Amino acid sequence: MSKHVSRRARAKAPTAANPILRSGIVGLMVACGVAAVDLALPDTANAQSSNGQASGAKPAAAPAAAGTGSPRASQDPVLLTADQVTFDEVNSLVTASGNVELAQGKRSVRADKITYDQKTKIVTATGKIRLVEPSGDIIFADYAELTDDMKDVFIENIRVLMTDNGRVAGNEGERREGRLTRINRGVYSPCDLCKEDPTRPPLWQIRAVRIVHDNEEHEVRYKDATMEIFGIPVGYTPYLSHPDPSVDRKSGFLTPSFGNDSNMGAILKTHYYWDIAPDQDATFDLHYYSQQGPLLGGQYRKRFENGRLELEGAITRGDVANSTTVPKETRNRGYIAARGLFDIDETWRAGFDIKRATDPTFLRRYYGFREDYLTSKAYVEGFRGRNYAAVTAYSFQDMRYGNSIPEPVTLPYAQYNALGEPGSLLGGRWSFDTSLLAVSRLKNGGPDTQRIMAQPGWERNIVSNAGFVTNLSGSVLVAGYTAQQFNTADPSSRGDDNASRFRFFPQGQATVRYPFVRYGESSSQLVEPIGQLTVAPKLSNSKVFPNEDSLDIEFDDVNLLQPNRFTGIDRLDDGMRFTYGIRTAIYGNSEGSASLFLGQSHRLTDSSVGFTGGSGLEDRVSDYVGRLDLQPADWLDVNYGFRIDHETLRPRRHSLNASAGAPLLRLSTAYTYVDQTTSRTAVTRNRVEQANFGLSSQFTNYWNIGIGHTQAMEPQPGPRSSVAILTYSDECLIFQTVAQRDYTVSTTGEKDGNTIFFRLVFKNVGEFKSPGLNASFLGGGSSNQ
């Protein structure tokens, strides 16, 4: 005998107000069945209570049918919705059909039909099954059997869609206790299927005899796994595992990398990641080089409530040099690095960044580091409003092989900068800068210098009704120096004098701009003449003062209008001068822009500063400097800076960065030319000229090729390096081939030669990188992570 309820039937699991019904699927299905029988007898099959629960359930019938004990009030209620519910009293079967949805907490099941057998307590679902897990994973199937609490499931032809878009499919699968999901003869892939032919294998997949997803360990494990690319097996392993999408990090071995180097031989790099705690982790590196031996390294990272700490290092025993000009020496080699930043309070924080290597060639050989110096510092700094204060100590390690001159140590460098409110003083704003500097050179490497300075200043912008924009500014520099082992003839070299110096230097500046603007239908045009008058006293011989921060000058359009064209304050731009220039620009209303600036300065009084020849400021009239910026559309971007000799009109400096083209074909270049000749009449010119050329093409949606070359024209003509990169990238795979040729020779006589390496990234599973990428402290990213 069977009874049924037509139309849309809904039922809820028991609550405290309805203690006779059992929680879980058992109680829910029985509740629906009893309600159907009772409602049908009085011909009220369509009746429902106002709160959505099936009504008319008999208190005595429900416990008998359910066969339950006391209710479990702590379990989440279960909601069942279906187009039709029937109850077979003879076979004790409750059947829900038509858009059936069974939900409990964050887990739900949708199917065409769900049947509950009260004798076996098994729920059977058939037809377009969709099971949503609390993790967000979605399971699809055509047939499934579930226990009454939905924790144990058996599924035929299982298909799983993970939260990271990864997909798992298999002949059959089962879940035990809501923890382990086992899939027999399954495949895994995060790649999208071919739209034209979904039956084709994805770009890559892992095929395994068994795939186990552990929800407690948050891990996916494979037994007898085979990697397939384009459906072709390329690798086998008896065991493979990787974290599931819910895991941000997990302890385990990272993908190894390997390669070959002309100086190092065959290379094998293995890495182990250790997830120590939520606030700290570490990576251990073991690298093997057939011609140099093993290298052991690692990184440690920790977060604190008020800051962070990072440690890094490596050690090996290998050759310091490997050439015919430098004797080979085998010894322990390595480097250490530490970086930290900690908040002291809302205003102050302290930090350090320390780098040190055993010898100049270690980082170049093992990590491709080519900078001339390693800079280490420790500091305390504070921010409050517009004010800033800091105390910093600096140390340098020279990485140029064979340089015997010791690097200076700066301890301390203290500074304080304050800036007033706009309009707070005479309609403008005041400023105050002060600093304390102490530089020491060990082993009699040069003079030791101490300096204290203070510089109050003021600035105001005035816009007149006639359209003139005027900037008035002024400052007074007061500085005191002491120096030991000082050389007045050459302040940068060691001498025998002890010096004490005092400097008082006021300076004022007035800058006037008059912009002419025209607004058109498609663009706006600007023409802006600029004039500037700078007034300061003439200084005595600057060589009597130590020089720590103004050893070089680079005159261009950036510092043309600045009060001091030197980089620091140990050398000052004295006397009176008039600076003039013009800026013109056009701006498109929708897109595109172009601008040009040209300027020059004229000294009204002789200067005792003694700008070096070739600087562009050695004469009363300076060289011409300017800049052109051109970007009419996305297909063209040009940035060109120049300096032209004011007498011969010869170029003294060019700097060009340009790119043109579309993604299908784009060209780029970076060109640098510097004429460092100190005399215009010199026959031999001291020039540096070098250019970089690049070409890239995104010739399909997934394929990209890039070619680059660096060529030196002066002083030693010849190629410097060439590189070609071929990249394939889609939603689940990145494959990159890099071929590089380095024509340079290190100071030890060691040639870098040719390099070919590959980079292969499988989304969600692992990543393969060839060796040679810089460590995180040295170049912004580690090859080990």
Does this model's pTM top 0.75? My answer is: no
CA distances from 362 to 322, 347, 388, 406, 601 (A): 12, 40, 38, 19, 47
Averaged pLDDT for residues 479-498: 82
pLDDT at 780: 41
Q: Is the pLDDT of residue 17 over 50?
A: no
Distance CA 649, CA 613 (A): 16
Q: Which of 627, 553, 624, 634 is nearest to 591 (CA)?
A: 634
Distance CA 134, CA 152 (A): 14
CB neighbours of 439 closer than 8 A, spacing ≥ 6? 408, 409, 410, 448, 449, 450, 548
pLDDT band at 776 (very low <50, low <70, confident <90, very high): low
Q: pLDDT digit string (tens) for 530-565? A: 999 999 998 876 778 888 888 888 899 999 999 999
DSSP state of 778: H
Lowest mean pLDDT among 29-43, 204-218, 250-264: 29-43
Would you tell me how many other CB atoms lie within 10 Å of the CB of residue 338? 17
Map residue 110 onto helix, strand or coil. Answer: strand
Lowest mean pLDDT among 177-186, 278-287, 318-327: 318-327
pLDDT band at 73 (very low <50, low <70, confident <90, very high): very low
Average pLDDT score over the chain: 81
Lowest mean pLDDT among 123-127, 131-135, 510-514, 749-753: 749-753
- Residue 400: CA atoms inside 13 Å, Cβ hemisphere, count? 8
Query: In which residue are the tokens 């878009």 written?
Result: 165
Averaged pLDDT for residues 371-386: 93
Percent over 90 (pLDDT), the chain: 39
Q: Is the pLDDT of residue 429 over 70?
A: yes
Distance CA 8, CA 646 (A): 92
- The alpha carbon dihedral of 762, 767, 771, 776 has a sign of positive
Percent over 70 (pLDDT), the chain: 84
Instruction: Tell which wins on pLDDT, 749 or 572.
Output: 572
Instruction: Tell which wins on pLDDT, 255 or 614.
Output: 614
Instruction: Tell which wins on pLDDT, 288 or 31.
Output: 288
Distance CA 57, CA 30 (A): 10
Enter the tokens of residue 660.
Answer: 């043109």
Lowest mean pLDDT among 168-172, 346-350, 524-528: 168-172
CB neighbours of 51 closer than 8 A, spacing ≥ 6? none
Lowest mean pLDDT among 211-220, 561-570, 689-698: 211-220
Enter the tokens of residue 513.
Answer: 């701009």
Write out the H or E segment, with its range, that includes residue 363.
helix 362-367
**Cis ω before 715 (30° cut-off from 0):** yes
Averaged pLDDT for residues 377-406: 89
Q: Is the pLDDT of residue 239 over 80?
A: yes
Backbone φ, ψ for residue 478 (5° rounding): -120, 120
Map residue 595 onto helix, strand or coil. Answer: strand
Distance CA 600, CA 277 (A): 61
Averaged pLDDT for residues 519-533: 94
* Burial (Cβ within 10 Å: 0-12, 13-18, ≥19) of residue 367: buried
Write out the H or E segment, with its range, that includes residue 140.
strand 138-147
Q: Can you list the pairs that 243-246 forms with residues at least 24 positions away whose Cβ atoms lie under 8 Å?
A: 243/218, 243/219, 244/135, 244/162, 244/213, 244/214, 244/215, 244/218, 244/219, 244/220, 245/135, 245/136, 245/162, 245/163, 245/164, 245/166, 245/764, 246/135, 246/163, 246/218
Q: Which of 208, 241, 242, 214 is nearest to 226 (CA)?
A: 208
Enter the tokens of residue 164.
Answer: 């990271």
Q: Is the pLDDT of residue 475 over 80?
A: yes
Q: Is the pLDDT of residue 670 over 90?
A: yes
* Burial (Cβ within 10 Å: 0-12, 13-18, ≥19) of residue 385: exposed
Number of H helices, E strands in the chain: 4, 42
Distance CA 530, CA 510 (A): 11
- The alpha carbon dihedral of 189, 192, 198, 202 has a sign of negative
Distance CA 259, CA 267 (A): 5
pLDDT at 752: 60
pLDDT at 754: 73
Backbone φ, ψ for residue 284 (5° rounding): -110, 135
CB neighbours of 466 closer than 8 A, spacing ≥ 6? none
Q: pLDDT digit string (tens) for 298-355? A: 999 999 999 999 999 999 987 765 454 555 667 889 999 999 999 999 999 999 999 9
Q: pLDDT digit string (tens) for 695-721? A: 999 999 889 999 999 999 998 899 988
* Burial (Cβ within 10 Å: 0-12, 13-18, ≥19) of residue 346: exposed
> DSSP letters of 367-424?
H----SEEEEEEEEEEEETTEEEEEEEEEEEE-STT--SPPPEEEEEEEEEEEPPTTS
Q: Which of 106, 82, 78 is nearest to 4 (CA)?
A: 82
Averaged pLDDT for residues 611-621: 87
Averaged pLDDT for residues 104-125: 86
Over the range 21-52, which residues count as b (16 or more CB within 10 Å of their CB) and which as e?
Answer: bbbbbbbbbbbbbbbbbbbbeeeebeebeeee
Q: Can you list the pairs that 166-175 forms with residues at least 24 positions away whose Cβ atoms lie under 8 Å?
A: 166/190, 166/245, 166/764, 168/211, 168/213, 170/211, 173/139, 175/151
Q: Which of 171, 191, 199, 194 is nearest to 183 (CA)?
A: 171
Query: In which residue are the tokens 């080990």 written?
Result: 784
Enter the tokens of residue 27.
Answer: 């109680």
CA distances from 420 to 287, 383, 429, 462, 470 (A): 56, 14, 5, 17, 19
- Residue 679: CA atoms inside 13 Å, Cβ hemisphere, count? 4
Averaged pLDDT for residues 177-199: 84
Integer-rounded Cα radius of gyration of the chain: 38
